[in-house]
């Protein structure tokens, strides 16, 4: 029997099942189409039938989205699905699949709305769509993880779905920066959407941008499908002017609400500065680093921000040159002495004896030696670049200096794992 004939029978079968709203099994499909045993399960497992078929319990399936299709349209979709995985191909629940599609549409709409130049005040619209998109995405994940009952709750003798905040509590750890970003935008949606005036766009865009990056990453991890194709040149434009107008100008625009608007902006700015977390809000500082010397001079590596969250996290920050004696105050011997003093001051000798290796001849106590220091510096690659946040090398004469961060880093490495120095020495041998 020709493949096209089998496809026609399959379409007719699915249309009947969708119309009657009845479930079916793989055996039912094979009987109706003439397919070989396990053919349907193979197609389904590969995601080729995800546009039309969803799982409804163990070994049971339901049909959807085929009633209005003719044979040519159906064959075309099947043919296309061989070369791509449809959105929701890994979702067993039809409801989860539908929520995933709705979520993607709403986040796309939020971004398109934000980037539309003809709209002056687009913040409130973005906030509404952003929160809706996240709620739908998280509910799709909860359904797949725990079943459809996990998103429903009985309230006042009426069945409702749980709120976005309840979804966040179920899907993220309490200290998650991604969760905090969504909670902040949700809080603005619920309590201060009337204050989202165009003058707030500078500070708000930093939180929004992180929120979109977080969504894109979470969406792809869950759906195994990219949220955006590589043809997108950018998801959201960051605003250049981040200064708020003076209060008299705001007052002339918004009257008594000017103080509330300014208070909201200042509160957000303070929270962003304290957080200094890419997943909460995009930082504005930019660094560059001279990574190594070559025959032609120093090599400077810059990371492009358009490479997404990972690219931004690797970006360097331009800072005013510092005096190495202030930024890296410890010479090698001074660094070792400082580490030993802090270890004795902050830890009992019993614990130090378990973490340290070298022994003093006079007292028999364990201590941190120059050999240990050299091993750790090499292990942590402090000297891989001439100058960095841990190590500074001056030439003519060649002097190695170490920073406060280096001291603390070494102490943390020693004391966080009991066998750290022993394993380091064994690996050296």
Q: Assess whether 77 and 179 both reside in one domain.
A: no
DSSP assignment of 379-397? HTTTTSSSB-SSEEEETTT
Domain CATH for 34? 1.10.10
- Give the model confidence (pLDDT) of 172-216 as tens digits: 988 899 999 999 999 999 988 788 888 788 888 889 989 998 999
Average pLDDT, the chain: 81
Q: pLDDT at position 198, please?
A: 81
Counted domains in the chain: 4
Examine residue 280 and state whether it is found in any structural domain, yes or no: no
Peptide bond into 397 cis (omega under 30): yes
Domain end marker among 64, 86, 108? 86
Q: Assess whether 101 and 243 both reside in one domain.
A: yes
Query: Tokens 């041998």 sit at which residue?
Result: 429
Distance CA 409, CA 421 (A): 14
Q: Which domain holds residue 311?
A: 285-319
Examine residue 226 and state whether it is found in any structural domain, yes or no: yes
Q: pLDDT at position 137, please?
A: 96
Q: pLDDT at position 82, please?
A: 52
Q: What is the mean pLDDT of residues 252-265?
A: 85
Q: Assess whether 41 and 148 both reside in one domain.
A: no
Q: What is the mean pLDDT of residues 291-298?
A: 43
Residue 141: CB atoms within 10 Å: 24
CB 163 within 8 A of CB 126: no
- Give the model confidence (pLDDT) of 60-116 as tens digits: 888 888 888 888 778 777 765 555 566 777 788 889 989 999 999 999 999 988 888
Q: Assess whether 256 and 289 both reside in one domain.
A: no
Domain end marker among 62, 86, 110? 86
Q: Assess whether 119 and 253 both reside in one domain.
A: yes
Q: Assess whether 103 and 205 both reside in one domain.
A: yes
Examine residue 209 and state whether it is found in any structural domain, yes or no: yes
CA diameter of the chain: 92
Q: Assess whether 146 and 263 both reside in one domain.
A: yes
Q: What is the mean pLDDT of residues 265-275?
A: 86
Examine residue 15 and state whether it is found in any structural domain, yes or no: yes
Q: Assess whether 100 and 228 both reside in one domain.
A: yes
Examine residue 350 and state whether it is found in any structural domain, yes or no: yes
Q: What is the torsional sign of CA 405, 410, 411, 412?
A: positive
In the three-class reduction of DSSP (H, G, I as helix; E, B as strand; rest coil), residue 367 is classed as strand
Q: pLDDT at position 423, please?
A: 87
289, β-bridge pairs: 301
Q: Assess whether 355 and 254 both reside in one domain.
A: no
Q: What is the mean pLDDT of residues 149-160?
A: 85
- Give the model confidence (pLDDT) of 311-323 as tens digits: 545 444 434 446 7
Q: pLDDT at position 243, please?
A: 63
Q: Assess whether 170 and 245 both reside in one domain.
A: yes
Q: Assess whether 315 and 328 both reside in one domain.
A: no
CB 63 within 8 A of CB 52: yes
Q: pLDDT at position 50, please?
A: 75
Q: Is 356's pLDDT higher than 90?
A: yes
CB 70 within 8 A of CB 33: no
Burial tier of 66 (Cβ tally within 10 Å: 0-12, 13-18, 19+): buried
């Amino acid at each position: 029997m020709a493949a096209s004939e089998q496809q026609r029978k399959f379409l007719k079968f699915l249309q009947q099942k969708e119309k009657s709203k009845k479930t079916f099994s793989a055996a039912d499909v094979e009987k109706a189409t003439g397919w070989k045993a396990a053919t349907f399960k193979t197609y389904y497992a590969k995601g080729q039938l995800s546009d039309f078929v969803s799982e409804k319990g163990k070994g049971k399936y339901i049909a959807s989205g085929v009633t209005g299709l003719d044979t040519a349209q159906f064959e075309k979709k099947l043919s296309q699905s061989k070369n791509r995985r449809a959105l929701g191909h890994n979702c067993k629940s039809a409801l989860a699949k539908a929520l995933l599609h709705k979520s993607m549409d709403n986040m796309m709409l939020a971004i398109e709305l934000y980037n539309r130049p003809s709209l002056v005040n687009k913040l409130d619209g973005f906030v509404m769509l952003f929160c809706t998109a996240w709620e739908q995405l998280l509910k799709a994940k909860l359904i797949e993880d725990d079943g459809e009952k996990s998103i429903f709750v009985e309230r006042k003798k009426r069945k409702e779905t749980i709120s976005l905040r309840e979804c966040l509590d179920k899907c993220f750890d309490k200290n998650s920066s991604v969760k905090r970003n969504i909670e902040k935008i949700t809080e603005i949606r619920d309590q201060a959407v009337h204050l989202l005036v165009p003058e707030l766009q500078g500070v708000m865009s930093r939180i929004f941008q992180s929120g979109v990056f977080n969504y894109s990453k979470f969406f792809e991890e869950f759906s195994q499908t990219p949220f955006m194709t590589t043809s997108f040149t950018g998801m959201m434009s960051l605003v250049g002017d981040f200064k708020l107008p003076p209060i008299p100008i705001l007052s002339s625009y918004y009257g008594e609400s000017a103080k509330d608007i300014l208070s909201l902006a200042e509160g957000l700015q303070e929270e962003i500065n304290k957080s200094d977390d890419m997943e909460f809000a995009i930082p504005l500082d930019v660094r560059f680093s001279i990574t190594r010397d070559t025959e032609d001079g120093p090599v400077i590596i810059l990371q492009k921000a358009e490479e997404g969250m990972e690219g931004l996290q690797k970006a360097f920050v331009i800072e005013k040159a510092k005096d190495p004696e202030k930024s890296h105050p410890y010479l090698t011997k001074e660094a070792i002495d400082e580490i030993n003093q802090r270890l004795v001051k902050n830890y009992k000798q019993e614990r130090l004896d378990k973490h340290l290796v070298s022994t003093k001849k006079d007292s028999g106590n364990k201590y941190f030696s120059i050999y240990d220091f050299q091993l750790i510096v090499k292990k942590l690659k402090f000297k891989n670049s001439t100058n960095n946040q841990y190590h500074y090398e001056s030439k003519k004469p060649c002097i190695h200096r170490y920073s406060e961060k280096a001291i603390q880093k070494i102490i943390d490495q020693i004391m966080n794992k009991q066998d750290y120095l022993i394993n380091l020495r064994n690996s050296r041998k």
